[in-house]
């Protein structure tokens, strides 16, 4: 990523403008079209719970998502923009109360290291709408050993 591209990405995610302290981009922005809406448009598009998670990085209460009990074959897409993020075969019961996956469609997420957060070192967001989805932990099952801890309200399940 060249500097101009970084500035563009950083500005579009607000990193350079507001709330950027403690965040750095940890990977290159994927080559997909991004979705930019006004705050008013996001409020109209999302439920209050989805808005709080996707646009303000809130975390849903553990055990509240219906997706905790979803194990049908299918795909999980971003509730903000329908970009596919997880395949059902990557989902597992982490017993944390949040829908968990051991892999992600890598080109569809961006990650940021949380410099000042000691419990959740890497945040991942939707690469198209920049919506917050969750954090990546190192206590997942093989073959990756990773746990993508997700907010179920930020995902929509699409059965196969």
Residues that bind Zn ion (CB under 5 A): 78, 80-81, 83, 126, 128-129, 131
Specify the residue, 102 or 130, whose C-beta has the smaller distance to Zn ion.
Answer: 130
Known catalytic membership, residue 149? yes
- Asked, as a colleague might, if the bond just before 143 is cis with ω within 30 of 0, I would say yes
Q: What distance in Å separates the CA atoms of residue 150 and residue 40, rounded to the nearest whole number?
A: 25
Closest approach of Zn ion to the CB of residue 37, in Å: 11
Specify the residue, 4 or 36, whose C-beta has the smaller distance to Zn ion.
Answer: 36
Closest approach of Zn ion to the CB of residue 107, in Å: 13
**Tokens at 82, concatenated:** 């329908």
From 9, 81, 126, 149, the catalytic residue: 149
Q: What distance in Å separates the CA atoms of residue 51 and residue 80, rounded to the nearest whole number?
A: 9
Closest approach of Zn ion to the CB of residue 127, in Å: 8
Specify the residue, 46 or 122, whose C-beta has the smaller distance to Zn ion.
Answer: 46
Specify the residue, 71 or 106, whose C-beta has the smaller distance to Zn ion.
Answer: 106
- Look-up: residue for tokens 């709330």? 19
Cβ neighbors of 20 (< 8 A, separation 6 or more) are 10, 14
Closest approach of Zn ion to the CB of residue 131, in Å: 5
What is the C-alpha end-to-end distance of the chain, expressed in Å? 35
Q: What distance in Å separates the CA atoms of residue 13 and residue 55, rounded to the nearest whole number?
A: 10
Residues taking part in catalysis = 149
């Amino acid at each position: 990523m060249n500097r101009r591209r970084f500035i563009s990405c950083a500005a579009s995610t607000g990193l350079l403008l507001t709330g950027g302290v403690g965040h750095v981009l940890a990977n290159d922005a994927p080559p997909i079209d991004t979705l930019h809406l006004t705050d008013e448009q996001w409020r109209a598009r999302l439920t209050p719970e989805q808005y709080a998670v996707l646009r303000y990085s809130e975390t849903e209460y553990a055990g509240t998502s219906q997706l905790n009990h979803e194990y049908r074959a299918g795909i999980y897409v971003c509730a903000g923009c329908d970009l596919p993020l997880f395949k059902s075969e990557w989902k597992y019961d982490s017993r944390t109360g949040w829908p968990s996956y051991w892999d992600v469609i890598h080109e569809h997420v961006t990650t940021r290291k949380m410099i000042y957060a000691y419990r959740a070192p890497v945040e991942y967001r939707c690469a198209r709408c920049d919506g917050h989805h969750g954090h990546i932990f190192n206590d997942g099952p093989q073959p990756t050993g990773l746990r993508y801890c997700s907010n179920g309200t930020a995902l929509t399940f699409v059965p196969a």
